[in-house]
Amino acid sequence: GEYVVFDESDFNSSLGANPTDFALDGAHGDQVFLWKTAGGQLDRIVDYVEFGAAANGESFGRVPDGGRGGFAPQLYSSLGKANSNPRIGPVVVSELNYNPGAPSAAALASNPNVTSSDLEFVEVHNPTSSSVSLSGWRVRGGVDYDFAATANLGAGATLVLVSFNPTAAANATLLAAFRAHYGIGSSVSLVGPFTGQLDNAGDRVVLQRPDEPPVDEPTFIPRLTIDEVRFDDESPWADADGSGNALQRTAPSSYGQFATAWIAESPSPGAVNYPGGLEGDFTGDGTVDGQDVDALAAAMRSATAASVYDLDGTNGVGFSDIVYLVENVIGSLMGDANLDGVVDATDFNTWNAHRFTANCASWSMGDFNGDGFMDVSDFNLWNAHKFQSAIGAVNSRPITPIAPAGLTTGLHVGLLDSLATPTAIISVDNALDLTGTRSRKGTQLAHSRVLEPEVIQEFARVAPDVIAGRPVRLSRYDNPARMSADSVDTAFADDWALGEAEWAGGVANSALARWFAG
C-alpha cells in the first residue's frame, strides 16, 4: 500500500528545454503510459489512461480507487495517500431515456409521424441552492448540444434536452406528441435540438462547462467535465432498453458512471424525485462507508449543498448530518476511523498519524468533524467515545477496546535521494497542476503506488511524449509501526486528554503537552 510522488522536477526539470522532458496538458487533456523496462529497454505497456481538461488545482483520480475504472475530477488532491471521492456537479444528468420504445397512442394522435427517436431525452438538474449560469456549457457524447449564452438553471430546476427544436412553429405537433407521450405540461422546460442519437446498446453523455483559456492559447476554451454517464444495456445496468422505462439517477451525489447510481423507472422528464437507494450511499457504490462520510463532509463545507445530504431533516447540511450518518445509518460512533464499531487505539493511532494536516483530510484519516483538518476537535470526538463499542453496529467486533501505548512523533519520511531508473511496476496515482495559469509547464505527477497489478490510480495532466526509462527521483512516505496496550488503560487516556487540553490552552506542564507542542 505504499505511494511514490513525482513532481515536475522529476520529469520536466528543464521546463521544456530538454526534448526528453514532458509536462501534463491541463487545457486540452492528455494521456499517460506506464511502461515496464527490462535491461534499460522498454519491455511493455502495463497501464494507460487519458483524461480531459482540468481545473487549476483539481486532480483526477481513478474511480474506484485501486481499481481499473476511469478517471474523474476529485474532491481534493491526495498526494501520497488514497484517492478522495470524485467531485460531482454542481449540475448533474438526472435522467436518460435512450430507447423510449414505440410512441403511445396519445403521441400518435398529435403527430402520426412521431418516432421512438423523437422521444429520446436527456434531463439535467441543479440540486444546489443557487442558480447556475449555463452560458458556454455543452453536452457531448452520443448526443451533442450547446446551451444558449443566456441559459440559466435555477436552484432545484431541471432542463430536458430533446432531439428537436421545441420553439420552432414547424415542430408544434411534434412538441405536442412529446408532451402527450410523457404526460407533461408546458411547465416542463424543453430545449433543443441536440444532434446525434443515443446508442441503445450503451453510450456516453458528458456535461461540460468552459474554463479560462491558457495564457499561451488565449483563443482556446478548455472544457471541464462536470458530470459524465457511461451507460450500458447489459447487467449490472438496469433495464431501460425499450422496456418503457428510463434510467433515473438515485441521488445527485451518486457517481454517474456506477451502474448502482441508476435504476429503471417510468420516465418523468422535468420532474426530479430521486428514488434513492441505500440511505447515505452518496457515492452510489452500493455501500455506506467512510467515503460517504467524506462526500457528506464536502457537501457540508460547500455553500450550495444539495438537500439530499440533509439526513436529519433539519433543512440544512451540517455536522449533525455527519453524526446521523455515522451513528444512525452506519451504526458506529464518532471517532471510529475504521468504522469497525469500536473506538479504540487503532482509531487514535490513525488520528495521531495525520494530526495537524489539512487539504487531504478524510474520515479514515481522523477528520471526524468533516472540517477538512485533523486537529484537536477531532481528538475530542475520539476522546468522548474512547473505549466504547457501538451496540448492534454492522461491522463491530467482539473484542475489548485497547488504549494507545507507544507514541511516535508523526510520519517518518524516507527519501530515496539517488537518481535511478525505476524497473519495478508502479502505478501513477495523482497529478496536480501547480500553476495559477494554464500551461504545459508547471505540473505535478503524483502518487505512484507499489500496489498490486500495474494500475494507474490518480492524477490530472500529462504530456504527449512520455519518455520511458528516464532517471527519476523517488519519494516514499512510510508510516512507522505502532504498538498498542494489551488492556484498557483509561488512566493513560485521561493523561493524554489532559496533555492535549494543556497544549490547546498554551500550557505545556505535562510531558504529553510538551510532546503535542513539539
Average pLDDT, the chain: 76
Q: Does the pLDDT at position 512 exceed 50?
A: no
pLDDT for the residue numbered 435: 29
Instruction: Give the separation between CA 194 and CA 142, rounded to whole angstroms.
Output: 10
Task: Annotate 46-68 with DSSP letters as a single string.
Answer: EEEEEE-B--TT--EEESSTTSS
SS3 106: helix
518's grid cell? 513539539
58-72, 370-384, 413-427, range with the lowest pLDDT: 413-427
376-385 and 490-504 helices, crossing angle to 10°: 150
pTM of the model: 0.63
Determine whether 421 is exposed, middle or buried from the number of CB atoms within 10 Å of its CB (0-12, 13-18, 19+).
exposed
**Mean per-residue pLDDT, 175-185:** 97
328's grid cell? 444512525
Q: Among 97-111, 374-388, 502-516, which range has the highest average pLDDT?
A: 97-111
Helices (H) and strands (E) in the chain, counts: 9, 25
Q: Per-residue confidence at 108, pLDDT binned at 50, 70, 90?
A: very high
Q: Does the pLDDT at position 188 exceed 90?
A: yes
**pLDDT tens profile 389-421:** 875 343 333 333 333 333 222 222 222 222 222
Q: Which residue has the higher pLDDT, 11 or 207?
A: 207
pLDDT for the residue numbered 498: 54
128-142, 192-206, 433-447, range with the lowest pLDDT: 433-447
Instruction: Give the separation between CA 125 and CA 91, rounded to whole angstroms.
Output: 6
pLDDT for the residue numbered 177: 98
SS3 385: helix
Instruction: Find, among 122, 292, 83, 111, the residue nearest to 207 by Cα.
Output: 122
Question: What whole-number percentage of the chain has pLDDT above 70?
Answer: 73
Q: Does the pLDDT at position 486 exceed 60?
A: no
Q: Does the pLDDT at position 171 exceed 90?
A: yes
Kindly list the distances between the CA atom of residue 154 and the CA atoms of 109, 125, 131, 279, in Å, as whole numbers in the listed order. Answer: 34, 9, 4, 26
74-78, 131-135, 293-297, 454-458, range with the lowest pLDDT: 454-458
pLDDT for the residue numbered 407: 29
Q: Which residue has the higher pLDDT, 499 or 63?
A: 63
Task: Annotate 407-442 with DSSP letters as a single string.
Answer: ---S-EEEEEEEEE---S--EEEEEEE-SSS--SS-
pLDDT for the residue numbered 352: 92
pLDDT for the residue numbered 129: 78
Q: Does the pLDDT at position 467 exceed 70?
A: no
* φ and ψ at residue 368, rounded to 5 degrees: -85, -20
**Mean per-residue pLDDT, 457-469:** 37
Q: So where are the chain's domains?
A: 92-265
Q: Per-residue confidence at 147, pLDDT binned at 50, 70, 90?
A: very high
pLDDT for the residue numbered 293: 94
**Mean per-residue pLDDT, 136-149:** 97
Instruction: Give the separation between CA 317 and CA 323, rounded to whole angstroms.
Output: 11
With a CB cutoff of 8 Å and minimum separation 6, the contacts of 62 are 49, 68, 69, 70, 71, 83, 429, 455, 456, 457, 458
**Contact yes or no for 460/58 (Cβ under 8 A):** yes
Q: Per-residue confidence at 499, pLDDT binned at 50, 70, 90?
A: low
Q: Per-residue confidence at 501, pLDDT binned at 50, 70, 90?
A: low
Instruction: Find, among 225, 236, 245, 290, the residue nearest to 93 by Cα.
Output: 225
Q: Does the pLDDT at position 514 exceed 60?
A: no
Q: Which residue has the higher pLDDT, 445 or 33?
A: 33
92-265: in CATH 3.90.550: no
**pLDDT tens profile 250-290:** 888 888 888 888 999 999 999 987 766 667 888 877 778 99
Instruction: Give the separation between CA 239 and CA 233, rounded to whole angstroms.
Output: 6
Amino acid at 502: E
Instruction: Give the separation between CA 88 and CA 73, rounded to whole angstroms.
Output: 8
**pLDDT tens profile 110-126:** 999 999 999 999 999 99
